Chains A and B, each alone.
Chain A
Amino acid sequence: GEQVEQRPPHLSVREGDSAVIICTYTDPNSYYFFWYKQEPGAGLQLLMKVFSSTEINEGQGFTVLLNKKDKQLSLNLTAAHPGDSAVYFCAVSAGPGTGSNRLTFGKGTKFSLIP
């Protein structure tokens, strides 16, 4: 089955610095890709949903890159600010018609700012 490796498990940067979180998946049939953000004491909230047809996806203060050749998904935070402190999870699922309806999550990256 699908396996997703997420790294690093912990990441600390100074305010204004950039940061990258990378997920590597194994199933070449993976089609839908997600980044979730979990703030302290809360459930996960969708940050961005990416489809396999789009390699570069930009959000507010971040960019998601999909490299299907290397089976990697990355979240690039461009200028970290206090509101970015959270645990980030990537998640992957197979495409329609594959009979799979599960998300496989990475183990998460705890992101924080260095005071």
Chain B
Amino acid sequence: EAAVTQSPRNKVTVTGGNVTLSCRQTNSHNYMYWYRQDTGHGLRLIHYSYGAGNLQIGDVPDGYKATRTTQEDFFLLLELASPSQTSLYFCASSDQTGQNTLYFGAGTRLSVL
């Protein structure tokens, strides 16, 4: 069973705060993704990567940075958090491009006060 682990599971910060969300996959997958899930919007792609050191911009990248340090680890950075970034964040991995299944982590619920 493919495994994607996110940490923390819950995070509360204040406006202007600095937050890092972590994701590790043990699937030996090339692709990793960060999504945010919001009521009325479904899942929206923030950033993704196809390997260590690579970063691709998703559909809603503003206010977010990401870094892929190894094949296993992908981080999402909010350097000046805003209330609009309060959301449920999911990390996912896949072996290849669109035809392959995405394996999701359990999510990180972030609240920006």
Contact = CB atoms under 8 A, between A and B. Distances in A.
B101 A100 contact: no
B107 A34 contact: no
Interface stretch (A44-52, A61-69, A74-82): A44-52
B104 to A, nearest CB: 3
A31 B99 CA distance: 8
Given A89-B42, A89-B43, A106-B42, A42 B106 contact: yes
A107 B35 CA distance: 13
A107 B97 contact: no
Given A102-B98, A103-B102, A43 B90 contact: yes
Interface in A71-114: 89, 91, 93-96, 100-103, 105-108
Contacts of B92: 43-44
A101 B45 CA distance: 12
Contacts of A106: 42
A46 B101 contact: yes
A89 B50 CA distance: 24
Contacts of B99: 31-32, 51, 93, 95-96
Given A43-B107, A93-B99, A94-B98, A108 B42 contact: yes
Contact of B104 (A32, A45, A51, A100): A45
Given A49-B101, A105-B44, 14 more contacts: A31-B98, A34-B102, A43-B92, A44-B43, A44-B92, A44-B102, A44-B104, A91-B102, A100-B98, A101-B31, A101-B96, A101-B98, A102-B58, A102-B98
Interface of A: 6, 31-32, 34, 36, 41-46, 49, 51, 89, 91, 93-96, 100-103, 105-108
